[in-house]
Amino acid sequence: MNTYHIDAYKGDIYTCVRSRCGFCFHACPVFLSKGFETYTSRGKCMIMKAFLEGKLPASQGLADRFALCTTCGYCTSVCDVDRPEIFNAFREDLRDAGYTIPRHDEIKENVEKQHSPYGSHDESLASRFAWKIDHDSPLLYYAGCTARYRERTIAEAMMMVLPSFDLLEEAMCCGSVLYRTGYRDDAMRQARALVSRIERYSTVVTTCAGCYKTLTRDYPAMGLQIRPEVLHCTQYLVREYKGGRLTLSPVGKGTKVTYHDPCHLGRGTCEYDAPRILLEAMGYEVIEMEHTREMALCCGAGGGLKSIDDSMATRIGSMRMEEAKRTGASLLVTACPFCVRNLRDAGGGELDVVDITELIAQSARREK
Ligand code: SF4
Ligand code: SF4
């Protein structure tokens, strides 16, 4: 008898198909974009049940369909079962059956050979900030691949705000993209390599919501424990601010902003308050969007979706931009370089999109 990765989730799959409540439809970004039930969590559960019962064989069509999920976790927030975890397991089953997504295979190779999903990269960021980098520092800034190689203003802003810190000299992806596209064994190898590189630090600060969730939630789920304390930059900065080591001037006074909760920081790790505390500390007036905190709409980029269907990713991002515009805010702030990237692609020309670190860099003064 065949065994599958999704066998572990049979109970959840059957419970869903029996209840068929459909709460998961409402803000599933892929459903909102495609309009078909088979892209929702319920639809996926029905497909997986048919697969388990031998009524639907593995196929390239199924692999393509399951690749269209941002792993945003909205369905989990209304349903109490970790749906993206189940979908990732099914992506693995389909891959084991020989059905893969060529673009995801390429990304996997990039991570394997060049330690970054973006492939070749330059390390000039480290040399530009050499004056601040201290290889004996107990504090590591783990920039993550997107801020380090694609959205450098975010990494630069963070490095301006930090006291002296260390930066890994060479790229070392956390493996999030592998974990979320069905390459869990490869993700595990990557995770082990990173853990051995960071274990000497006391504190690791990330600017990427995806890296933060991967290090603090997914590594333990894979059975890996990390010795250093790992903080998202907003958590670290709130601690510095409350401890009196960081002063924030009211650069935002009179400016209305709205805040997009990155899925991996919000739903993924339940951190909703730290970014809002920082925005208010800088004097900004925060106006909430219709979907916010655990009900926030996804930006559209995650789960490997942007790499295989950029137009769908930006279509989803435009829905979020429309919500943001309806608040009347003059700035959309978020706390993840990957969200920034996709929301800017989706309509940043009409409403400026910034990462919170870029605002902090304008406002921060470090106390000695
Ligand atoms: S995934 Fe959850 S919310 Fe959606 S139909 Fe199934 S049980 Fe209901
Ligand atoms: S994780 Fe997000 S994109 Fe995927 S099915 Fe659930 S709500 Fe839809």
Please check whether the domain covering 103-240 is classified as CATH 3.40.50.
yes
What gap in Å lies between CA 305 and CA 31, rounded to an integer? 14
**Residue 192: is its pLDDT beyond 90?**
yes
Average model confidence (pLDDT) for the chain? 93
Q: What is the pLDDT of residues 222-236, one digit of tens each?
A: 999 899 999 999 999
What is the residue-wise DSSP string for 242-295?
HTTSEEE--TTTT-EEEE---TTTHHHH---HHHHHHHHHTTPEE---SS-GGG
Query: Taking residues 286-312, what's their average pLDDT?
Result: 95
Helix (H, G, I), strand (E, B) or coil at 305: helix
Whose C-alpha lies nearest to ligand 2, atom 1?
A: 71
247-366 has the same fold as 103-240: yes
- Cα(337) to centroid(ligand 2), Å: 20
Under the banding of pLDDT at 50, 70 and 90, the label for residue 368 is low
| pLDDT tens per residue, range 110-159 | 999 988 998 877 777 777 888 899 999 999 999 989 998 889 999 999 99
User: What CATH number belongs to 247-366?
Assistant: 3.40.50
**H-only helix segments in 129-232:** 144-149, 152-161, 176-179, 184-198, 209-213, 219-221
Decide: 33 in ligand 2 pocket, CB within 6 A.
Answer: no
Q: Which of 106-120, 239-253, 277-291, 316-330 has the lowest mean pLDDT?
A: 106-120
Which residue among 20, 38, 77, 295 is best mutated to probe the pocket of ligand 1, counting the most ligand atoms within 8 A of its Cβ? 20
Residue type, 85: E
For residue 348, is pLDDT > 70?
A: no
Q: Which atom of ligand 1 is nearest to the CA of 78?
A: 3
83-96 vs 41-52: helix axis angle to the nearest 10?
A: 40
The predicted pLDDT at position 349 comes to 73
Encoded tokens for 12 = 């959840």
Ligand 1 centroid to residue 21 C-alpha, Å: 6
- Tell me if 124 sits within 8 A of 131, measured CB to CB: no
Going by pLDDT thresholds of 50, 70 and 90, the confidence category of residue 331 is: very high
Domain spans of the chain, in order of start:
5-100, 103-240, 247-366
For ligand 2, say whether the CB of 32 is within 6 Å of any of its atoms.
Answer: no
Taken in order 321, 327, 329, 330, is the CA torsion positive or negative?
positive
CB of 74 shorter than 6 A to ligand 2: yes
Centroid of ligand 1 to alpha carbon of 80 (angstroms): 9
- Nearest CA to 312 out of 301, 324, 298 is that of 301
pLDDT at 121: 72
Q: What does DSSP assign to residue 166?
A: B
77 Cβ below 6 A of ligand 2: no
Q: Distance, CA 25 to ligand 1 centroid (Å)?
A: 8
